Amino acid sequence: MTLTVFVLGAMLMLALFWLRERLAGFLGQRPDDYTNDVRQIDIRRDLDGPLICEGVIYGPMGRVVSRFVGDFHVTWDGNRGVMAEHFKYETGREQHREWSLSVGNDGRIHATAPDLVGEGEGAQVGGAVCLRYRIRLPEDSGGHVLDTTDWMYLTPNGTIVNRSQFRKYGLKVAELVATMRKVEPA
C-alpha cells in the first residue's frame, strides 16, 4: 500500500510539474502575450546590419557550461533576409551559421540554416519574437537533434535579449541567454 501511494504521489508531482512548464513556464508563452507591448519589434529593422551577440549556455542542471561572443551581419531584401553568424567560444572553438529568413506581412517567420532539420517557424508580435526549430548539433557535440524554442525580447534601447531552450525527448538539456545589439558606426 505504501509503495502504491508513493508511486501515485510521484506521478502526480511529475504531472503537475509538466503542466506548470507547459502552461505557466517558458514553454507556456505565446506570441499574443506580447501584443500590447509599447515597442513593436520588426526583425527587418531590429536585426539588420552588423550586430554583436554575447551570451552564455547553461547545461541541464542550470550551471554555465559555455560562454561566447558572436559577430553577426544581417542583410534584407524586402521580406527576405540572410543572417551570417560567427561565434567565438571561450574554449577557442569557432562556429559559423547562415540563416535564411523570410517574414510575412502577418508577422510569421520562416527560417532555414544548414544545421536545421526542416524549417523553423515563428512569429513576431508586439515586442517579442518566437521561433521554433529542430537543430542538429555538431558531431563533436554528439550530433543530437534538439527541439529548440527561441524567444527574443526588444528592450527600450533597442537591444534584443534572446532566451532559448533546447530539449531532447521533451526534457530540457540546455538553455541559452544572450544579448544582440547593433554595432555603433566608428
Residue 94 has pLDDT above 60, yes or no: yes
Domain extent at residue 98? 33-182
Kindly report the CATH number assigned to the domain that includes residue 93: 2.40.128.20
pLDDT tens per residue across span 122-150: 999 999 999 999 999 988 888 899 999 99
pTM of the model: 0.84
CB 83 within 8 A of CB 99: yes
Distance CA 56, CA 149 (A): 16
Distance CA 174, CA 118 (A): 21
**What mean pLDDT, rounded, does the chain reach?**
90
Would you say residue 117 lies in a domain?
yes
Would you say residue 56 lies in a domain?
yes
Report the pLDDT averaged over residues 76-93. 97
